[in-house]
Structure 1
Amino acid sequence: MPKPKDVAALPKLSSDATKQAGGGVAPWRHPQPGLQVKTLEAAVLNPLRVIYNQLESQYKLTTRQGLVEWLRDVQKEDVRSFDIADGEGFNSFLEFMTSEWGSAQDWTRISNGDPSYYDHPMSNYFISSSHNTYLTGHQLYGESTVEGYRNVLLRGGRCVEIDVWDGQPPSSSSSSDEEAPPPPQKGSNQLKKTLSQGEPVVLHGYTATREISFRQVCEAIRDNAFVTSDLPVILSLEVHTSHEQQEIMVEIMNTCFKGILLGPDSLPHNPDECTELPSPNQLRNKILIKVKYSPPKSATEESKNGASIPDTSENNSDDETSKVRSNQPKSKPSKIVEALSRLGVYTRSCHFKSLTQPEATIPTHVFSLSEKAFMEVHKTDPIGLFNHNKHYFMRTYPKGTRVSSSNLDPAPFWRQGVQMVALNWQKLDGSMMLNDAMFSNSDGWVLKPERFRSASMPLPVASLTGQQTGSLSIEFIAGQDLPVPKGIKPEDLRPYVKCELHVETLPDARRHVKSEEFKAKTKAVKGIHPSFASQIITFDGVPALDRELSFLR
């Protein structure tokens, strides 16, 4: 009987978090104990007996060697996870198949025990990312809550977004005819007073969404960032605050994230001099701040030769209504104070103009593009876009017109190497299911396929125009204990299984980026214990450039 070895106790998640798609809760990389199916209906039991008889004649499941070969070659399990003795026939087979280890999930799909899995530069990973993390529903009037951050982090998200605005001024503020006080200095009593009376808030600007406290958001992130994983968390700041409130933001983050905030003072080297991003292993239990970068005043001249990143944006945020600009605007005074800008150590947000702008070769820069802007870049330079994302961070997010919190299809963006494809996690849709498939049983950081990594050769044009084809067949045996919708009698239930295969098609890589969905479904059968009688769905002639980035839903 192959018995799983002991599994560490799991953290208790909120009921809302466990019921939603997301992807990447570390302890789930190994199956959760106690999930064994207690009974089997005839619709399932009888086909399993047939399958066992076929396997027994091939693998001799009553012997230890036969069990090892079956677990390794058929189930694709890591046999080191089991204490394997001689088998006990059909009952042993049933006990395994009805346990958590009989799940269709591939528990060893991610790192597979490789200690070097997280040793690659950060840009070599896909990162489970959230957009407008504070919202619970509609983009224009949905409720804002700090629980959004707890929810996303406990579901495995490793990049969250915070839109920060000026809080209400203190009620005892000076009258208009009085001289305005100077901005508070860091560490001063005046700053402490300001912190208690008028702190920055988080909300979706120019909408009816309710504001929440920036401090409370930071506290929620601090308390939940490293519950399910100790790999780094990226905070994507969209800053709309005054200089005074930015100083307060810095004070709050330094206080809330003491000991876990990655700041320039905690590094053994100057981030401006790094030639390659560090690995996730090197930044465990660290929070990274993604924010617009402003070079120190003393470095203004250095910025002209590319030593640091100048801010040439028209505002300090990743404006969701912005478009790709072909013109080169003159540098304007930065709207981000130096104290806040310095926190963007390895994730310095830079306004995008083109893939050839000077900042595009600096390891610490990040380009943030809406899905619409991204598509425009892909149309003009798909090869350059792919090669850029092998070395440098890019973040994409839903276009501003998705007011109902619908989502972009993340797969085409992953296939262009985008590390942070931010989705509306409050919307349980096909896109979030794909995100769940990408990051399930991971720590929220998934190593890209080899040709997507910085160490691989630059992608030639021919690589995007050639196509590979394949096929996929799925056999459906039976099911049991299906839930019955309200208003329907159990005997009237007629379930079926629908399959969608999401793969890449590139008839002309220079004009087209999308996912092709191949759809099929089984015949409907009757009852809550359906027998599908080994119906087979086959997808033939399926084009797929990268199997790791093709999905079945």
Structure 2
Amino acid sequence: MGKWTNSPRRIVDHKEILFRDVCQVVREYAFVTSELPLIVSLEVHCTPLQQAAMVDITEEIWGEFLLPVPELDPASLASPEQLRRKNLVKVKYVPNDKDGAESVNEGFDDDGSSILEVTTTEGGEKKAAKVKPPKVISRLSRLGIYTRGITFKSLEQAEVSMPNHIFSLSEKAAFAIRRRMPKALFTHNRDFLMRTYPQGMRVDSSNFDPVIFRRAGVQVVALNWQSWDVGMILNEGMFAGSDGYVLKPNGYRRRGPTGESEEDDMGSNIESKKLDRVTVTPDALTAMTSKSTGTSPNFGGEVIEFLNVEGVVPELAFLSFIVMNDVLGPDVMTAWACVRLDRLRLGYRFVRLLDKDSMPSKGILLIKTVMTEAGVA
């Protein structure tokens, strides 16, 4: 949710929706499908006074669904099981004090901006210094208990030691880090949370391939849900039939609690496979009809093969079917399906298709699938 100051009433972008109304909808529907925790990410651009009102609203409406603010920072992350029916607020972290600070006096200027006067001791002498005001008030920041938003600088910055930190990186920044330091990125994401999101230049609300970042261990891959493109199709294949949470494959998570020793080489414990051959044969559903106008096309036993595919992690690999409508000009996607490889059943199977808006359609594919692993007779 993006909250801006352009009205005395608290509203949420990209349309003028009251913040209170959004919180009410979250309360009503957050745990209808699943009781596992919901992460609500707040992008705050409003005055301190309005931020205080936001805290009042969340506490009033979410009530028992909101985690109480602890006196001490958590020493480790809680499991989803421990956080059932809880809303986790992801919001920018503001430290309670500064290193070397003796006292902090917080106030607000006439225009609503915050002023901090910090009294420090340097060589026995006291000095007053004005620091840049935080964008988020401490009362709102404290709601980020297990999802403490930290501005990313490097994978070695001091805040990395906080077990409850979460970095948010645009796809451009995430691609750059993945290219420069893949091992460090993978190692960080075995223990700590990271979020990636589409860059702002995607004015058409298109998406990147989310699997690229999931293979780097990123847990929260945000997408533009306005567009049902390949990125969203792969995302649906990842979570179809789940409660919104999927356990990472072996090698992507530590075997024991954080801090216990484990081999650090990236990918050393990942169970990957080499596939000699993946064969998919679409067959006829009923009698043969015209492929251009019929509703039950016969693909004539056409065989689609993928040969010598290396480094396959079945939990992060997908078989996608996209049905295009052959029309004048660019072909239009009519229906699709996406199956995660570890859930793909071999032999003859029916595959139900979703339409271009990701709603169930009447379309069904009858396919035969054969998969052969290297070295397996």
* CA distance, structure 2, for counterparts of residue 405 and residue 532 of structure 1: 34
Deviations 1:126-165 (A, max 9, x none): xxxxxxxxxxxxxxxxxxxxxxxxxxxxxxxxxxxx0011
Q: 1:365–1:393: 8 Å Cα contact kept in structure 2?
A: yes
Letter of the structure 2 residue corresponding to residue 472 of structure 1: V
| C-alpha spacing 1:480/1:428, structure 2 compared with 1 (3 Å) | farther
Give the share of equivalent positions with the same residue, in percent: 44
1:404 maps to: 204
Contact 2:289 2:296 in 1 (8 A): no
User: How do 1:380-395 and structure 2 match up within 5 A?
Assistant: 380-395=180-195
Q: Over aligned residue pairs, what C-alpha RMSD do you find?
A: 2.8
8 Å Cα contact 1:544/1:550 also seen in 2: no
Which residue is equivalent to 2:4? 165
**Secondary structure in 1 aligned to 2:251?**
helix
1:167, distance to aligned residue in structure 2 (A): 4.6
Whether the 8 Å CA contact 1:201–1:213 is kept in 2: the answer is: yes
Query: C-alpha displacement at 1:458, in angstroms?
Result: 4.2
Q: Which whole-Å CA distance do the structure 1 matches of 2:101 and 2:44 have between them?
A: 22
Distance (whole Å) between structure 1 residues aligned to residue 158 and residue 286 of structure 2: 60
How far, CA to CA, are the matches of 1:288 and 1:368 in structure 2? 16
Give the deviation of 1:256 after TM superposition.
1.2
1:15-71: CA deviations, max 9, x gaps? xxxxxxxxxxxxxxxxxxxxxxxxxxxxxxxxxxxxxxxxxxxxxxxxxxxxxxxxx
Take 2:250 and 2:267, find their aligned partners in 1: how far apart are those partners?
18
Does residue 455 (structure 1) correspond to residue 255 (structure 2)? The answer is: yes
Is 1:203 equivalent to 2:13 in the alignment? yes
Q: How many Å apart are 1:535 and its aligned residue?
A: 3.2
Residue 240 in structure 1 maps to residue 45 in structure 2:
yes
Task: Determine the C-alpha separation between the residues in 2 that align with 1:417 and 1:202.
Answer: 31
**Take 1:222 and 1:283, find their aligned partners in 2: how far apart are those partners?**
15
* Whole-angstrom distance in 1 between the partners of 2:319 and 2:52: 47
In structure 2, the partner of 1:477 is: 283
Structure 2 unaligned blocks of 5 or more: 103-129, 257-261, 321-377
| Match among 336, 345, 348 for residue 148 of structure 2 | 348
Q: Flag the structure with higher helix content.
A: 1
Is the CA contact (8 Å cut-off) linking 1:437 and 1:551 kept in structure 2? yes
1:396/1:421 contact within 8 Å kept: yes
Distance (whole Å) between structure 1 residues aligned to residue 217 and residue 68 of structure 2: 27
Q: Secondary structure at the match of 1:438?
A: helix
Is the partner of 2:282 in helix, strand or coil? strand
Indicate the SS of the match to 1:544: strand
- Give 3-state SS (helix, strand or coil) of 2:303's partner: strand
Q: Hey, what does 2:326 align to over in structure 1?
A: none
1:378 aligned partner, one-letter code:
R
Q: Which has the higher strand share?
A: 2
Matched ranges for 1:145-544 at <5 A: 162-169=1-8, 199-204=9-14, 210-265=15-70, 270=72, 272-274=73-75, 276-297=76-97, 300-301=98-99, 332-455=132-255, 457-460=262-265, 463=268, 469-470=274-275, 471-480=277-286, 492-494=290-292, 527-544=294-311
Going from structure 1 to structure 2, the CA distance change for 1:460 and 1:332 (only over 3 Å counts) comes to farther
Q: Is the 8 A contact 1:393 1:419 kept in 2?
A: yes
Secondary structure of 2:26's aligned partner = helix
Q: 1:475 to 1:400 in 2, by over 3 A?
A: same
Offset from partner CA, 1:204-224 (integer Å, 9 cap, x none): 4xxxxx322111111111111
SS state at 2:24 partner: helix
Alpha carbons of structure 1 residues 380 and 240: separation in structure 2 relative to 1, 3 Å: same
SS of alignment partner, residue 176 of structure 2: helix
Q: Corresponding residue for 1:156? A: none
How many equivalent residue pairs? 288
For residues 19-168 of structure 1, what are the structure 2 equivalents within 5 Å? 162-168=1-7
Alignment match, 2:363: none
Instruction: Give structure 1 stretches of 5+ with no counterpart.
Output: 1-161, 170-198, 205-209, 305-329, 482-489, 495-525
Instruction: Specify whether residues 283 and 303 from structure 1 end up closer, same or farther in structure 2 by C-alpha distance, changes over 3 A only.
Output: farther
**1:387–1:458: 8 Å Cα contact kept in structure 2?**
no
* Pair 383,549 (structure 1): closer, same or farther in 2 beyond 3 Å: same
* Rounded Cα–Cα distance in structure 1 between residues aligned with 2:158 and 2:166: 13
Question: What displacement does 1:331 show?
Answer: 7.5
Structure 2 CA distance for aligned equivalents of residues 550 and 366 of structure 1: 26
Q: 1: distance between equivalents of 2:240 and 2:88? A: 23
- For residue 455 of structure 1, give the secondary structure of its aligned residue in structure 2: coil
How does the TM-score come out when normalised to structure 2? 0.71
- Distance between the aligned counterparts of 2:194 and 2:263, measured in 1? 17
- SS of residue matched to 1:531: coil
Q: Is the 8 A contact 2:279 2:305 kept in 1?
A: yes
Q: Contact conserved, 2:186 with 2:266, CA < 8 A, in 1?
A: no
Question: For residues 412 and 458 of structure 1, what CA distance do their matches in structure 2 show?
Answer: 23
Equivalents in 2 of 1:462, 1:215: separation in Å? 45
Structure 1 residues 462, 228: closer, same or farther in 2, change over 3 A? closer
> Which is higher, the Rg of structure 1 or of structure 2?
1
Give the 3-state SS of the residue equivalent to 1:535 in structure 2.
coil
TM-superposed CA distance for 1:528, in Å, is: 2.9
- For residues 364 and 214 of structure 1, the distance between their equivalents in structure 2, rounded to whole angstroms, comes to 26
Alignment of 1:549 onto 2:347: no
CA distance in 1, matches of 2:21, 2:54: 12
